[in-house]
Each structure stands twice: as C-alpha cells, then as structure tokens.
Amino acid sequence: MGTKQVHKRLTTEQARTIFENYLAKDIPLEQALALFGVKRARFFVLLSEYRNDPSVFILAHKGNAGNRKISKQSEDAILDELAKEKKLIDDKTLPVRSCNYSAVRDILASKDIPVSVPTIISRAKENGFFLEKRVHAVHDREVLTSMPGELAQHDSSIHRWSPFVEKKWYLITTIDDYSRLLLYADFVETESTWAHIEALKSVFLQYGCPMKYYADQHAIFRYVKDRNKLRPFATYSKFTDDVDTQWRSVLKECGVTPIYALSPQAKGKIERPYRWIQDRIVRTTAKEGIDSIEGVREILKDLVETYNTRWVHSTTKQVPVNRFESALSEGRSLFRPLLFQGGVTIDDIFSLKIDRVVDAYRRISAYGNEIRVPNGTPKDTVTLKMIPDTVSGMVKVRFWRESEFLGETFEKSEKLPGVRF
C-alpha cells in the first residue's frame, strides 16, 4: 500500500471513476484496492459514502478520531434541521416522503456549519429521526439515445409546493434524453393546452426542434377514442390518434414526432430530476417561508441551474450541460432550427387553431360569438390561429385561407371561452 494519504494520491473524479467501474463489475475488488492504495475496510467506508450520494461525494482528508467531535452549536443545528425535516415528512399534503441528508448538509453549510452526511445520519439514528430509504418501482434509466435532440421528454406534476400555501401548482418540465439537460421548467397555477404550447415554444426557439417528443397519455397530449368524450375535439367516428390535439398539432407542424409512454414507469428519465427538484423546492419554501408562486419560481430557477451545471447525473456520470455541449462541439445533434416560410410567423406556429366557414356577412361563428373575417369570402373555409395574452386578457386572432394570410384582429378572452389560458 502507498504511504501517501488517499486524497493526496487521487482526485475526487479519479475516485468516482474507480467506484463506477467496480460497481459495474468492470474491475475486480483487488484492482480497485490497488488503485486506491487502501485496505478493504477503508475502501468500503469510502464506497459507502460514494453510494450514499454520488453527486456530492468528495475525496478529502477526514482527520483522526480525536478531531471528529463537533461543537454544541453544530449538534444543535443538526437536530434543529432534522426536526424540520420530520415536520415536512409528517405533513402528508406535501410531496416529501423521506429525509434528504444531503440537503440538510447543504443548508448547514450555507450557515457556515460544515458537517458530513454520515455525521448527520449518525445524529438522525441516535435521536429517532432516521428513516429507511423507500424502495421505488424499478424502471429503465438507460440512455437509449446517441445524441442531443434525438428525444425530448415532457411532463407535468401537481403538488402543494409550500407548507405556507394551500393551493397546488403545476410544474411543467422538458428534458433532453441524451444529456439529461433540463430544457424547460416552470410553474403554472392552472394546467392548460396553452401552457404546454408555451413550453414547446421556449424549447424550440432556444434549442431547436428535436426529432421526437415523449409524453404521457394526458388528454392535452393525445386523443384516445372513448376516453376524451368531453373534450371539444371528441368524435365517435375517429380512432385513437386520428384527431390531433392542439399540442400534437404544433409538434407536427414543426416536424417533430410525438410518442407516448404506456406506463408511469416508462418515464423514469424525467421522474428522477423531478424528485430531486421537487424535494429541494419543498424544503426550501418551508425553511424560507415562501408563500407565492413568484417566490417558488425563483427557487426553481436556482435549482435548475444547479442541476444542469453542477449535478453529476447518476446514470450518465456527467454534468448535464457538459455532456450536452460536448456532443454539440463534436457535431452530434439532431436539434433542427425552426423555419418560417410563406409569411408564417412564430405566432402562427405556436397558437390554438380552429377551422370555420365564412358566412354571407363575412363572419365566422366561434364559441357562440361572431367574428368578422378580414378579407373574408363567403363559403370559404378559414383557419383561426389564436394567441392568448395572459397579461392583457386579449386574444390575437390571425386568419388564414390555406396558405394565404387574410389579416388579424384582437378579441377579448371572454368572447373566446374555448381558448384556455
């Protein structure tokens, strides 16, 4: 064995690589011990720390037994944070089901109280705060794509995100399958087709159009025969996918293929980041007294930045943004720029669309109201492309006759109740 301490022989990244290869059974124990230059007992102590939370594992000097005592202030701070954790877990209306010892460590570090995760776990066990980890349903987290833009996963989750607010909000998220980079994340008070179309718009304008989009079978994303009887586009003469939802229509116009998860377990790649973000959001809102959706958005923004730029993903073993940018620098990407032709604008693509026939007075009927069609011709079929403005409450309506733009008007949202903000 070497005479130098292990943290002086190896970097943290080198140690992680050795652990990853050992756990994957690519190298035997004897080789791992030789690479570390430590005895079995020490190796397995380090391995246990790594497996507890690979994303925060650091190979550093631990000191001798005589230096392991912590101050009374630190002891009290640990117990105080653990008590707060228990309060969150006991509140069944919040999406927190286990103690996040790494989060406790990070909170204490922000208060200039540096303690290790094993120390926190030890105090949790000694004081009745320790909870065994829940066993989650097994699902495939394998990376099935070979480059960014090959597959984007899209989902939403509703929870009570703060103990200071009774109302539940929706978190809408899109992730790149290859890199695990979060492409979009935002809160909305009410889930609607328009909220999901705005998510598409954000992703497509910032990154480009991916090859495929992966979502669940929510009625917003997919028409399923005999299930969507109350939806405005329901029809008994059509089968599943014979009718395009508004969200699916936007995808197809952009040349993106929609595909659907057949079970919750099939969405494993997006569920893990959800749990990580969800867990941190609730704990932060509880401990900082956040009671508004604007405040929760600020927390979300910081967490997405941390997840994308600093968190080592447990499956890819890379920081998402590094994996994403590395592939782009090598010319490996299936993201395509969004193209506009024939006078089509961003508003025309990212809009809610309905077809109507112009009457003898050059008007159309929509949602029980009549709207004059600019340059309309009686008996012509026109497409209304509607773009809601959530701030003003107005709806921009652009009229098209096949590939010919006729003009636009602005209507109050009350006149178009079928357009959900």
Flag whether 141 is in a domain: no
Average pLDDT, the chain: 84
Query: Does 284 share its domain with 377?
Result: no
Distances (CA, A) of 407 to 56, 362, 383, 389: 56, 13, 11, 18
Query: Does 28 share its domain with 174?
Result: no
CATH of the domain at 275: 3.30.420.10
Residue 148 pLDDT > 90: yes
Q: How many domains does the chain have?
A: 4
Task: Judge whether 245 and 233 are in contact, CB under 8 Å.
Answer: yes
Flag whether 119 is in a domain: yes
In whole angstroms, what is the distance from residue 216 CA to residue 156 CA? 9
In whole angstroms, what is the distance from residue 116 CA to residue 108 CA? 10
- DSSP one-letter string for 42-105: HHHHHHHHHHH-GGG--------GGG----HHHHHHHHHHHHHHHHHHH-TTSS--S--HHHHH
Q: Tell me, what's the pLDDT at 362?
A: 94
DSSP 134: P
Query: Residue 203: which H helix or E strand, with range?
Result: helix 193-206
Query: Does 246 share its domain with 120?
Result: no
Residue-wise pLDDT tens digits, 266-309: 555 556 677 778 888 998 898 889 999 999 999 999 999 999 99
Query: Does 25 share its domain with 162?
Result: no
Flag whether 287 is in a domain: yes
Query: Does 283 share its domain with 262?
Result: yes
Could you give the residue ranges of the DSSP H alpha helices within 245-379? Answer: 246-253, 268-288, 293-309, 320-329, 346-349
Read off the pLDDT of each residue in 305-322 and give the average, rounded to a whole number: 89
Query: Does 36 share its domain with 181?
Result: no
Query: Does 166 share its domain with 288?
Result: yes
Query: Does 166 share its domain with 304?
Result: yes
Please state, for a pLDDT cut of 70, what percent of the chain lies above it: 86
Burial 364-388 (b: 16+ CB within 10 A, else e): bebeeeebebeebeeebebbbbbbb
Flag whether 185 is in a domain: yes
Query: Does 317 share its domain with 253?
Result: yes
Query: Does 318 share its domain with 352?
Result: no
Boundary of a domain, candidates 126, 144, 164: 126
In whole angstroms, what is the distance from residue 251 CA to residue 46 CA? 47
Q: How confident is the model at residue 114 (pLDDT cuts 50, 70, 90)?
A: confident
Flag whether 336 is in a domain: no
Q: How confident is the model at residue 182 (pLDDT cuts 50, 70, 90)?
A: very high
Flag whether 335 is in a domain: no
Model confidence, pTM: 0.70
Flag whether 172 is in a domain: yes
SS3 322: helix
In whole angstroms, what is the distance from residue 270 CA to residue 175 CA? 7
Query: Does 56 share its domain with 191?
Result: no
The domain in which residue 96 lies consists of 76-126
Flag whether 135 is in a domain: no
Query: Does 237 share its domain with 351?
Result: no
Boundary of a domain, candidates 36, 65, 94: 65
Residue 65 pLDDT > 70: no
